A and B are shown apart, each in its own frame.
Chain A
Amino acid sequence: MYRYDELDRTLVGERVEQFRDQVARRLTGELSEDEFRPLRLMNGLYLQLHAYMLRVAIPYGTLSARQMRMLAHVARRYDKGYGHFTTRQNIQFNWPRLEDVPDILAELASVDMHAIQTSGNSIRNVTADPYAGVAADEIEDPRITAEIIRQWSTLHPEFSFLPRKFKIAVTGAPHDRAAVRVHDIGLRMRRNGEGEVGFEVIVGGGQGRTPIIGPTICEFLPKRHLLSYIEAILRVYNQLGRRDNLFKARIKILVQSVGAALFAEMVEEEWQHLRDGACELPVEEVARIEAHFASPPYEALDPHPPAFAARRLGDREFGRWCRTNLAAHKRPGYAIVNISLKPVGGVPGDATAEQMEAIADLAERFGFGEIRVTHAQNLVLPDVRLGDVYAVWQGLGDAGLATANIGLVTDIIACPGLDYCNLANARSIPVAQRISQRFAEIERQYEIGELKIKISGCINACGHHHVGHIGILGVDKKGEEFYQITLGGSGDENAALGDIVGPAFSYDAVVDAVETIIATYLAVRREGEPFLATYRRVGLAPFKERLYGAH
């Protein structure tokens, strides 16, 4: 795992002391709120519906057990005993006191964590495949790329006042678990004809008010040119991006207005001045960063330990959990363990301090001390010996974390919505809770199969509703909560935006509407056909008919 070097550490330490001074000056009135707001936002501190909210960066979703313990400590000591893992692979604390925030940041800095670049018009926390480094289908570990970008972009003077926030995602595997087509820049690792590794570069995707599936502007960029090429993209954006209109300032609007082909040419031209220049990646530096992500000391293991197979057959609950919550590891005899933060009726993404500590313990005992955060608001233990999986499952069960539902209808993404968020139109969390209660029965979930429901409380789309197989968007109708439903969205390698099914549903009616949609799917699907495939085959019509036909 990447460890901070002295430079990073000094920088983060200085930022904490700087912010301590800024908070003190705010509390004595030397700084007004207008002066203080941009400073606190640069340190991840928002003022939300009930209180301040602190967003802590978890670069590319990778956490050590020690860092997880620190998050538990912060939750217990400075907050209300829990934290909320977000779709940006970050964690949010919902109740910190302003006067405590410098201490919280100092505590976080002691484990190399911070809240820098979690807000503002900067290059945000770079996200990556949560299975990075361990996925069986991976070409190379995308975190090396993500870390190179992080180091280059952290406080890059030219790019800390972009027209708007800027999000980059990287996947090293053909199966896209990082949603690269809905980011400002998406990087997808691939090999060319000669077997060389490089990137497909996707630009100008995004969600929010104007959702766009990003076009590819470069089919194959050799790895060594990564930074100069990204720099070229950012320069073009910095020069031409619209700063006059908040809603038009994202790079996606620029790419759409000039067209992907012309944008690609502009980048190419800019790149000719930059390529092979100062920001080409020196081999030694890449090697240094790679060394930080070296694999843990794996053992040569039996790929099919009999004890594991016996448990799977003998213990039905365990067998069920294995079916949904394990993923294929690149090493024989190991498994990727998904920890669902979606108990039936629970708050998606929330974990208590005790649960965080239980996970840290399990990671230390059974998984080389490493934990990942997924954009689906779940956690991952990336390296568990198959022979230990049963013990891990039992430990998770003791902490209330053994929900067997990854990828199923109850594994719902929901943003904080009107229960916490100042910008919300409607609540998201209780809609997720009611849907998961409605479909709680596990056999019914299996029957429905893979289904991704994603809920946002407003058009900012933090709950990724545009790319949900079933997307739910909270809207405000004369002060009442209503929900617009979209169907057929997808955030993976077959990315698509959902289509609006029809008029919005009330808070009371929305769960019934979801049930009707699922019943329609079950009625029209072909043998073994997943929801998304059925939708792509039959389109909106049968769903519209069942939902609105009576009127």
Chain B
Amino acid sequence: MPRTIVTANRLRDGEVVYLAPGGRWAERLVEAEAAESEPDLARLLATAEQAVRALLVVGPYEMPVERAEGELRPLSQRERIRALGPTVRADLGKQAYQAAVRRSVADVPV
């Protein structure tokens, strides 16, 4: 089975989120919990259904990912853009936040 994670949108604000260990919904794909077996995936999907009923997320679905350089990465272009933000606006979406984090880390003198 290909490595698979579960993603959805947060109900209140629509933010793209990924199901992370412990049933948490993370904004960053790299934090997602990857299932590598059918039972694991079934457990993730069941957790996601609970989250729908608990009004946390809408429209959860599974998506394949790969692990590269120690990080989970989406396979399709659609999911890459969803995980980062519009390719035409590097200042918007998750990529903007991540760039800001990188900048602030880089600013810390060592």
Cα–Cα distance between A378 and B100 once the two chains are bound (Å): 33
Residue of B nearest to A29 (CB): B55
B54 CB to nearest A CB, Å: 8
Q: Identify B77's interface contact among A28, A33, A418, A433, CB under 8 A.
A: A418
Pair B87/A419 contact, Cβ less than 8 Å: yes
- Stretch in contact with the other chain, from B6-14, B28-36, B39-47, B102-110: B6-14
Cα–Cα distance between A427 and B59 once the two chains are bound (Å): 23
Q: A419-B86, A427-B87 are in contact. Are A99 and B12 (CB under 8 A)?
A: yes
A185 CB to nearest B CB, Å: 34
Does B63 sit within 8 A of A, measured CB to CB?
Answer: no
Cα–Cα distance between A429 and B11 once the two chains are bound (Å): 28
Residue of B nearest to A48 (CB): B14
User: Which A residues lie within 8 Å of B78 (CB)?
Assistant: 49, 418, 424
Does B37 sit within 8 A of A, measured CB to CB?
Answer: no
Does A97 sit within 8 A of B, measured CB to CB?
Answer: yes
Within 8 A of B (CB), among A307-361: 347
Q: Identify A51's interface contact among B14, B52, B81, CB under 8 A.
A: B14
Cα–Cα distance between A479 and B64 once the two chains are bound (Å): 13
Does B48 sit within 8 A of A, measured CB to CB?
Answer: no
Residue of A nearest to B53 (CB): A29
Within 8 A of A (CB), among B13-33: 13-16
User: Which A residues lie within 8 Å of B3 (CB)?
Assistant: none
User: Which A residues lie within 8 Å of B86 (CB)?
Assistant: 50, 419-420, 429
Cα–Cα distance between A424 and B12 once the two chains are bound (Å): 24
Most buried by B among A29, A47, A418, A433: A418
Q: A49-B82, A99-B12 are in contact. Are A479 and B55 (CB under 8 A)?
A: no
Residue of B nearest to A26 (CB): B11
User: Which B residues lie within 8 Å of A429 (CB)?
Assistant: 86, 88
Pair A97/B13 contact, Cβ less than 8 Å: yes
Cα–Cα distance between A429 and B93 once the two chains are bound (Å): 16
User: Which B residues lie within 8 Å of A80 (CB)?
Assistant: 92
User: Which B residues lie within 8 Å of A97 (CB)?
Assistant: 12-14
User: Which A residues lie within 8 Å of B75 (CB)?
Assistant: 479
Question: How many A residues touch the partner, as a band?
Answer: 20 to 34
The interface size of chain B toward A, counting residues with CB under 8 Å, comes to: 25
Cα–Cα distance between A426 and B76 once the two chains are bound (Å): 11
User: Which A residues lie within 8 Å of B55 (CB)?
Assistant: 27-29
Q: Provide the A72-102 mask, 1 if CB < 8 A to any CB of B, else 0.
A: 0000000010000000000000011111000
Does A481 sit within 8 A of B, measured CB to CB?
Answer: yes
Most buried by A among B16, B55, B59, B88: B88
Cα–Cα distance between A371 and B93 once the two chains are bound (Å): 31
Cα–Cα distance between A479 and B75 once the two chains are bound (Å): 9
Does A220 sit within 8 A of B, measured CB to CB?
Answer: no
User: Which B residues lie within 8 Å of A293 (CB)?
Assistant: none
Pair A47/B87 contact, Cβ less than 8 Å: no
A83 CB to nearest B CB, Å: 13
Q: Provide the B84-102 mask, 1 if CB < 8 A to any CB of A, else 0.
A: 0111110011000000000
Pair B13/A51 contact, Cβ less than 8 Å: yes
Within 8 A of B (CB), among A190-243: none
Residue of B nearest to A36 (CB): B58
> With contacts A50-B85, A418-B81, A481-B77 known, what are 6 further pairs, Cβ within 8 A?
A49-B82, A52-B14, A95-B92, A97-B13, A347-B89, A433-B88
Q: List 28 A-B contacts (CB under 8 A).
A: A27-B11, A28-B55, A29-B55, A49-B16, A50-B14, A50-B85, A51-B14, A51-B16, A52-B13, A95-B14, A95-B92, A96-B14, A97-B12, A97-B13, A97-B14, A98-B14, A99-B12, A347-B89, A418-B77, A426-B77, A427-B81, A427-B88, A430-B88, A433-B88, A479-B76, A479-B77, A480-B77, A481-B77
